[in-house]
Each structure stands twice: as structure tokens, then as C-alpha cells.
Amino acid sequence: MDTVLDAKIPEGPLADKWDNHRFSMKLVNPANKRKYRVIVVGTGLAGASAAATMGELGYHVDVFTYHDSPRRAHSIAAQGGINAAKNYQGDGDSIFRLFYDTIKGGDYRSREANVYRLAQVSNEIIDQAAAQGVPFAREYGGTLDNRSFGGAQVSRTFYARGQTGQQLLIGAYSALMRQVAAGSVTMHTRSEMLEVVKKDGRAVGIVTRDLATGEVEAHSAHAVVLATGGYSNVYYLSTNAMYCNATAAWRAHREGAYFANPSYTQIHPTCIPSSDEFQSKLTLMSESLRNDGRIWVPKNPDENRPAGDIPAEDRDYFLERKYPAFGNLVPRDVASRNAKTVVDEGRGVGDLKNGVYLDFSDSIDRLGADTIEERYGNLFEMYERITDENPYKEPMRIFPAPHYTMGGLWVDYNLQTTVPGLFAIGEANFSDHGANRLGASALMQGLADGYFVLPYTIGDYLADWLNTEPVGTDDESFSAALGAVSDRTEMWLSKNGTRTVDWFHRELGKIVWDHCGMERSAEGLEKALSEIPALREEFYADVRVPGSGDTINSSLEKAGRVADFFELAELMCRDALDRNESCGGHFRVESQTEEGEALRDDENYTHVSAYEWGDSGPTLHKEELEFENVTLTQRSYK
């Protein structure tokens, strides 16, 4: 095992590890907590819950977000739900089953101890959220309702209409604003973190740019927590919000935090296909639709009848045909890849032939339009608003889109990165989901990290720094970082080329989508690895960044983010090339069964790949994964 990558997994049986660890960690007593300053970057579910909880515990917390309000973080957009092992439905769920499903769903590429802890704290999240007033769906008797999600065989998903993320985030945000009012948390909005500051090898602060005034500022603390979300926007088009970016994580990576499994990305099967090349983002249609919708394409590539006129014998319900046991409910990666296959065969639907049908007519016949409306009304409305087509009358058109990134900053069991004092939580870290994330598990992980794990594990680190002041912002470590940010700003503002930042971002996105998307091959990845640096060179030579640095300047903001995406894209492709196996969301054409299904290679790849930044290229470190409580099996959904 790589000695630098010590995951610090506690001793003892799986079920006792977290309890044992909590007992053995150093504690900071309440009176001493207020002597500590902690920086949290990000106010999504992970950041807001962590900052609120640490504020309640008595730490002084500074919170940063580039949004104008903490409530806008992209967690707000999550639709489907959040998992927990409550077993309220009495259908045989348990902590072990949620643990097992998550490990298996992640295709045996995650850490047992972390995932077990996640399942353990999942129940407390629901209690906390309900107490905060999150209006979860309820039964007539007043108890909480659940649904099954993403192929799970139990009903463990809690939801709030199609707005679970918004309601959970409002809960965490209100807890956060309560601490702001109490004075324990200081809120910095429109403030973008552009550098992590290190001294003597540990994180001591950050440098930010005020997006409204352009002021570059230094902030110091005893510890820094990144809760800055995922990097799906490396593909340009994704279900993520326009502003989502990888800069915070990437800047940390360049300061020594290892980046783990960058090639593990999740392509979500049910999104609205793009309508033209100016499409700015892709809209997710909740996966729950697959419970009642049937996916099909015409058998004949030259079919031109409207969907309703195509008789059953001319339709190919390809998922039901290939996977009789799971049918339309196969996991996301399987559903996505099969949709790509039929579209590549020329059997796609819609004007651009870039989608497949998701058809509700059978369910409407069986259950009535009212039931379907009750279940999916707001999604149908959203679909109609975007496409001008009525899904009660004609089938929806859907196609896969980049959605979630399992890769992220490497963290140990304490959620600490390889830089002491620098922690990463939520989608920004790599933990828990292995090579593929189950539906409704990201909200759970973000809130588990923020409410129930980090606020305690960070104490173990902070205890060693009792009675020390944070490094002053007049220290040379800060002046160097401030200088770097100002220099980069100057550099971008001097770019007087001919193309917009977005143009380069779109082109980069196409390369990554084509070669490091749903299907990866050595040949394609090598091609990408020559195209990306070439495009990057063009980017630095020909991009145009107008305006000045002392006011809102969206081109300037985007230039820095896209520059970081370029570097990240290259690392993703390198990692995808190195991992010559198919696992979870990572499908290598060289590694498949005779029937074309993903083939894992446990002998050679049962490890986390964590990359260390180097000016002349990354160094790969491996964390071997050990499974003591589950047996590795090949997934089969036939």
C-alpha cells in the first residue's frame, strides 16, 4: 500500500468503527471552540450543513460562496429524493442493506468503512431535516412517505414533491442563517475562492475575489473545508447549473491535495436532448419517471411516423428486451449506454434523431392520467415548458447527459485531504460512491458529511492547534497567493484574441464527451490527450476577455474556470486510459463481456487512483480497497 495514502480507517468490526473512532478522537471543549476559526467554501447541502453545525458547536466559521445568496447552490436543483435506512415501510431495509446496495452500486470501488458510516448516519439526517421543517411527502396518517428509486428493491427514498434538493437546502440554509444571526458564522457572498494558502505544509487560509468589486482578499483560519460541488461542467453541457465549476478543488489539487478517480463520472439517462448548438445546459427529468415510463425507439432507422402511429411490432423496447429482469429500471450507466447505442445506430427520435422515447401511454391506460399527474405533474409541466410537447399525449424524448462526478479530492476517513488542515465534503470529495452513485444518495452523502461527520472529525485535527492564532494574512504565504491571483487576473484581462471563453469551453466539452463520456477506448483517449493540450494552447493564444477587473466581469470569471477545466479534462482522460477495466460509470470498450456488458478487472484495479499534481505531469498513487464484509460479484441485470 502507498504509504502517503493512509485512509486512517479505524480498527474494529465494521459496525463499531464509527463509534470507536468518535470515542478515540481528541475533543475540543466547548469553551475552547470559540478560539478556532474555520473556513467553509460552499453553501450547498454539504457546506451549509457543516457551517451551521460547527457554528452551533461554538466554532467561529467564515463561509464563502460565489452566489449572491447561500440558497442558490446547485443542491437546490435535486429533484428525486434522499435515501435513508429507516425501514419505515417495514420492507426489510437496514443499515447493512443500504451499505451493501451502495457498495454494489458503486461496483466495488469504494471504501467499506466510509460507506457503512454513511448508511449509519442516514437516519439522523431525516430526523434533523424533519425537525427543521422540511416538508417531506407524507401519508394521510401523517407519517413520512417513501418511494423506491433507481432500481432499489426497498422503498427508502424520502422526497418533497420534485424539489427535494430545494427543500433540504432551505432547511440547511435556514440553520446556517440562524448562526449568521447568532454571530458564530460570517457570510461572504459573491466571493470566489481562487487559491488555497499553505504554510509549513498545512492549509491556513484562502484567497478570494469579490465578484462585485473585484477586490482580492486573504482570509486565514485554523482549517479550511471545501464543499464546492462536482465538475460535470467539464463537459460544457450537463445537468449542472451554469456556474458550477472545479476551480476550488483544482486549486487545492495544485497545492498538493490528491485528486482521486477523476474519470468516474455519471451520465444520467433521463435528460431532455439538446435542441441546437446554442443549448446552454441540459435539463434532468427525474429518474423516478422510469418507474412508469417505457423506453423505446423505432426498429427502423428510417421510421418517420409520429410515435403514436408506430405499432408495437415496429417498436424496440430495447431495455426490456435486453434486461428482462430489470427492464426500464436498470442502473443509470446501463440505461445510458444502451440509449447511446441505439442513437448511434441511427434509430434516435426527434428532429435531430438524438433521443429515445420515454412513453407513459401504457401507464396512463392502466392507472389513469390523474395518477400519473399526481406522481409526475411538475415534471411533465417542466418538460412541456421546455419542448412545447405534451407528454400525456406523445412520449417524452430523453437522452443521457453528464450529471454527477464520483471522482474528486481524495480524503481519508476523517474527510481530510492529503494537505493537513484541508478537508473536502459533499460532491467535491471522492468518497462513498465508488465508480457509480445510486440515485438519491448524493443528498444523503452531502448532509452526512456536513451535519454528522466533518464537525466531529475536524475537532481531532484542531485539538492540536489549541491556543495558537491563525497565521496572519500579512504572512508571506498569503502575499504570494494574493500575488498569484492578481497576476492571473491581469493575464486574463490582457487577452485580446478573437474568440469567447464559452467557445473554448464548448469545444473542450465536445472532446471530453466524445472520448471520456459514456464509452472510453484507448484510441479515443489518446486522441483526446493530444487534442486537449492543442486546444488549450489555442485558448491561451486566442481567447478574448474584455472589460476590467474591478467590477462584475463574467468573461473574466469564466476564463479562470475554463482554464482549470482544461487541466482537469486532461487528468480525467489519463485516469480513464490507465484504468483498463469497465466499472460503474467508466466503460472501457476493451473490457467487456461477449454480450457487450461491462467487465471489471478486480485483480488489477481494486484500488482508488489518486493523482498528485506535478508541473511535469501527475504522479499516480494507489489506495488498495479491501473488502471484508461483502463478496465481489459482477453486476448482472439480465
Partner 1 sequence: MKVTLRIWRQPGPEADGGFEEHDVDGINEEMSFLEMMDILNDRLVEGGGEPIEFESDCREGICGTCNLVIDGVPHGPQLGTATCQLHMRKFSDGARITVEPWRAAGFPMIKDLIVDRTHLDDIVAAGGYISVNTGSAPDANLMPVAKSVADTAFDAAACIGCGACVAACPNGAAHLFTAAKVAHLNLLPQGQPERYRRVEAMVEEMDQWFGSCTNHGECETACPQSISIDFIAMMNRDYVKSKFKNRRLLSQTN
Phi first, then psi, for residue 198 (nearest 5°) are -120, 145
Among 27, 177, 367, 491, binds partner 1 (CB under 8 A): 177
Q: How many C-beta neighbours within 10 Å does residue 372 have?
A: 21
Nearest to 208 by CA among 188, 187, 231, 229: 188
CB of 375 to ligand FAD, least distance (A): 15
Record the cell numbers describing residue 498, joined without a space.
478573437
Our CB check for partner 1 shows the closer of 92 and 183 to be 183
518 contacts 269 by C-beta, under 8 angstroms:
no
> How far is the C-alpha of 233 from the C-alpha of 281, rounded, in Å?
9
The item of ligand FAD, partner 1, none sharing an interface with residue 278, based on CB under 5 to 8 Å by kind, is: partner 1
332 assigned to active site:
yes
The item of partner 1, ligand FAD, none sharing an interface with residue 443, based on CB under 5 to 8 Å by kind, is: ligand FAD
The item of partner 1, ligand FAD, none sharing an interface with residue 192, based on CB under 5 to 8 Å by kind, is: ligand FAD
**183 is a contact residue toward partner 1 (CB under 8 A):** no
**541 is a contact residue toward partner 1 (CB under 8 A):** no
Our CB check for ligand FAD shows the closer of 318 and 430 to be 430
Task: Tell me, by CB under 8 A, how many residues bind partner 1.
Answer: 82
Site for partner 1 in 273-312 (CB under 8 A): 275-276, 278-281, 283-284
The item of ligand FAD, partner 1, none sharing an interface with residue 455, based on CB under 5 to 8 Å by kind, is: partner 1
CB of 415 to partner 1, least distance (A): 16
**505 is a contact residue toward partner 1 (CB under 8 A):** no
Q: Is 474 exposed, middle or buried (0-12, 13-18, 19+ CB in 10 A)?
A: exposed
Our CB check for partner 1 shows the closer of 61 and 481 to be 61
Of 37, 71, 109, 332, the active-site residue reads 332
Nearest to 336 by CA among 240, 230, 239: 239
Burial 418-455 (b: 16+ CB within 10 A, else e): bbbbbbbbbbbbbbbbbbbbbbbbbbbbbbbbbbbbbb
The item of ligand FAD, partner 1, none sharing an interface with residue 279, based on CB under 5 to 8 Å by kind, is: partner 1
Q: How far, CA to CA in Å, does 131 sit from each of 128, 141, 164, 177, 337? A: 5, 18, 15, 16, 41
- The enclosing H or E element of 397 equals strand 396-405
CB of 183 to partner 1, least distance (A): 11
Q: Where does this chain bind ligand FAD (CB under 6 A)? A: 41-47, 64-67, 73-75, 77-82, 164-165, 192-193, 227-230, 239-240, 244, 247-248, 284, 403-404, 426-428, 440-443, 446
Site for partner 1 in 72-91 (CB under 8 A): 72, 74, 76-77, 86, 88
104 contacts 268 by C-beta, under 8 angstroms:
no
Radius of gyration of the chain (CA): 24
Q: Which residues lie across from 371 on neighbouring strands?
A: none
Our CB check for ligand FAD shows the closer of 60 and 251 to be 251
Site for partner 1 in 379-398 (CB under 8 A): 382, 385-386, 388
Record the cell numbers describing residue 586, joined without a space.
467508466
Among 9, 25, 130, 620, binds partner 1 (CB under 8 A): 130
Q: Which residues lie across from 610 on neighbouring strands?
A: 260, 621
> How far is the C-alpha of 1 from the C-alpha of 578, rounded, in Å?
18
Listed ranges 65-73, 149-157, 400-408, 601-609: which one lies at the site for partner 1 (CB under 8 A): 65-73
**DSSP annotation of 450:** I
CB of 579 to partner 1, least distance (A): 32
Where in the sequence numbering do the catalytic residues fall?
A: 332
